[in-house]
Amino acid sequence: MNKLETKDYIVFLIYFVIVSAYGLWIYNRKKVKSAEHGASKDYFLAEGSLTWWAIGASLIASNISAEQFVGMSGSGFKMGLAIATYEWMAAATLIIVAVFFIPVYLKNNISTMPQFLSQRYNGTVAMIMAVFWLLLYVVVNLTSILYLGALAVNSISGISLNTCMYAMAIFAIIITLGGMKVIGYTDVIQVFFLVLGGLATTYLALNLVADHYGSSGVLSGFNLMTEHANDHFHMIFERDDPNYLDLPGLSLLVGGMWIVNLNYWGCNQYITQRALGADLKTARAGILFAAFLKLLMPVIVVIPGIAAYVLYKEGNFQTDMLQNGELNPDRAYPVLLNLLPAGLKGLSFAALTAAVVASLAGKANSIATIFTLDVYKKVFNKEASEDKMVTVGKTTVVVAMILAVIIAPNLGIDKKGGFQYIQEYTGFVSPGIFAMFILGFFWKKTTSNAALFATIGGFALSLLLKFLPGMMDLSFLGPVGFAVPAGGGVYEIPFIDRMGIVFVICIIGMWIISMIENPDGKKANGLEVDAQMFKTTPGFAVGALIIVGILAALYTIYW
């Protein structure tokens, strides 16, 4: 039944009160200390305020949203455990970011990604990317998070779609107006509800599978799933698998999946902002904590989808899984939520809301940070005071959220699928951005024109390879592993492979341009980088090795 009972509303109210009261308490404490660090630094970065566990929790709360709960569960229903590669490879990526990326940002006092580009290249590159990131965050990320979250909440509560959007937008604005410190510490509570509610749904799903086959217990349910849906427990697809275009085999381990993750976790204001206000040891510990949480995420967002698939094959949910008369895998998670008993359903409802609101708040804060520090202060008011910048930031939050509420229903996000929607549109620019960052970090000869080539040329190349199958026959690429049949006799380059190809071309192009313009490397690169920055503590090294070992075991078992 698509509605909540009194017990559910009570549980949700408890969640709302706890988050709001804790956020208010943090905000009141924050006001006393703001003058110590400067109002703008305190508001945008919570400089020196976030602990390692707050940083780690905030990273996960900002990352996990409706596209994971709904989209990844739907992908689990459709293609199985392989979709977990986005989560598990992220754990490995976070270790790389902590060791090599964060030290560069912190050593050079970087507050925003455009600031890094301005310091490393020039103001033109920085401004182009600042405007691009603002458009991407508002039009793609903020809208999709808001709309998909509203759809999911609507499907389990019966509350109208518009009401869900307005309520979550307002809740997120309230949290965001408190600044990064309020976001960071309330995210700890958001993650608690997110994990607890998610595990409750997984527990239900596994028990349903066990009960269906006359057994009991979650372990029995999991074993029965692996037995009756063995094809859904493989991480690496063969070329003849119908899902190869989405997850192209070994490219997930040695190809484009690294571009997806390294760009997202290492070159993204939305993510890196959580660690930019901390010292290196705290930032690294927080990121390592986030990597451990990433290992857990597929249990919450993928396993329920596979369980729904097993039950669907056995004749359950035949009507519930349909949308407009056709099977819609994205309905898997909401269908399971609606089977939860009163109280637990409220907990899962709170978990889903927490995921959406935390992501909205984090994204809105990043939009405000980039606009205020990289656009407003540099173009409109170079002498802006600390208090003035905070006011502009808060105004930007409200305007961005209003724009998202207005345009979200008109983008067709629900028809395309939220996870695919975000990946496709950010994937057009990810290879070029990552190439620009990685060479900017570690190759002093890289020039500003080379960076512009990666930014603009990478985008153009991505578009070309996307639409190339409609202009020419790509079947000749089949033997080398890139092009596969996409139906209608057309061969298409898988999305992940396309990103890898564009990245390699961007790197080669940047090398050629830089060698022509700056062969001797005499031009200063504007960054302070030395080998000592990349040394880690023994504790971090042990934690990183444990994560790598777990990942190796998971991929070995479920290859």
Mind listing the pLDDT tens digit for each residue in 378-414? 888 877 777 788 888 888 888 888 888 888 777 655 5
- Read off the pLDDT of residues 345-370 as tens digits, 9 standing for 90 and up: 887 778 777 778 878 887 888 888 88
Contact indicator for 65, 148 with CB cutoff of 8 Å: yes
CA distances from 248 to 146, 251, 254, 484, 501 (A): 29, 6, 11, 9, 13
Q: What integer best gives the mean pLDDT of the chain?
A: 80
Listed residue (378, 426, 392) closest to 133, CA to CA: 426
| pLDDT tens digits for range 231-282 | 889 888 887 777 787 788 787 888 888 888 898 888 887 777 777 777 888 8
CA-to-CA distance for 11 and 349, rounded, in angstroms? 9
Tens of pLDDT, residue by residue over 306-330, are: 998 888 888 787 777 776 677 778 7
Average of per-residue pLDDT across 407-423: 61
Pairing of strands 322-323, 326-327: antiparallel
Between 185 and 111, residue with greater pLDDT = 111
Q: Answer whether residue 34 shows pLDDT above 90.
A: no
Strand partners, 513: none
Phi, psi of 116 (to 5 degrees): -60, -45
> Hey, is 526 helix, strand or coil?
coil
pLDDT of res. 442: 82
CA angle centred on 196, ends 190 and 198, rounded to 5°: 95
Return the CATH superfamily for domain 41-209+266-419: Sodium/glucose cotransporter (1.20.1730.10)
Write the pLDDT tens digit of every residue in 480-500: 445 565 555 556 777 788 888
Q: How many residues does the chain have?
A: 559
Q: What is the pLDDT of residue 324?
A: 67
d(CA 66, CA 76): 14
Residue 428 has pLDDT above 50, yes or no: yes
pLDDT digits 0-9 by tens, 497-531: 888 888 999 999 999 999 998 887 766 667 777 77
